Amino acid sequence: QLQLQESGPGLVKPSETLSLTCVVSGDSISSDRNHWGWIRQSPGKGLEWIGTIFHTGSTSSNSSLKSRVTLSLDKSKNQFSVKLTSVTAADTAVYYCARTLYYDFPYGAYMDVWGKGTTVTISS
C-alpha cells in the first residue's frame, strides 16, 4: 500500500533554508491522479497547507509563504521535496507530506495518505 516518509534535519538555524524530502513507496509519483502536498502544524496549533506539486511538476503554494517556498519532484527516486528559505522561529513545526487527490479536478482536493511527520525546530 502507499506509504510516505519525510526526512530532513530536525534543527535549522534562523535565516537558513529548511529542506525536507518525502519518499513515496507503493505507487508511482508520476501517476496521473497523484499530486503531492506539504502541510505543517506549529506546536499546539492547527494545520497549515504549505503547497502542492502536481504530477506534471507544476506547483502552487500558500500565498503567505509563496516567496520562500520551492517544491520539486524527483521521478527517478520517486520522491518530492520542499525548501523554505529565510526561516524564523515561526517556522518551527511538524511537517507532513501527503498524497493529494481531487474529486473533480481542479475542485475537491483532499489528502488521503500522510507521512508520519517530521519535527523541525528553528533555533540557533
Report in angstroms how near the CB of residue 111 gets to another protein at its nearest. 6
* Shortest CB 13 distance to another protein, Å: 26
Give the contacts of 63 (CB within 8 A, at least 6 positions apart).
none
Q: From residue 9, give the alpha-carbon distance in Å to each of 23, 25, 58, 94, 122.
A: 15, 21, 26, 12, 10
Residue 110: CB minimum distance to another protein, A: 4
Q: Which helix (H) or strand (E) is 80 found in, with range?
A: strand 79-84
Give the nearer residue to another protein in terms of CB position, either 83 or 114. 114
Instruction: Give the interface with another protein as residue ranges (CB under 8 A).
Output: 37, 46-49, 52, 60, 62-63, 96, 98, 101-103, 106-112, 114-117
- Cis link prior to 106 (omega < 30° from 0)? yes
87 or 111: CB nearest another protein? 111
**Of 7 and 114, CB closest to another protein:** 114
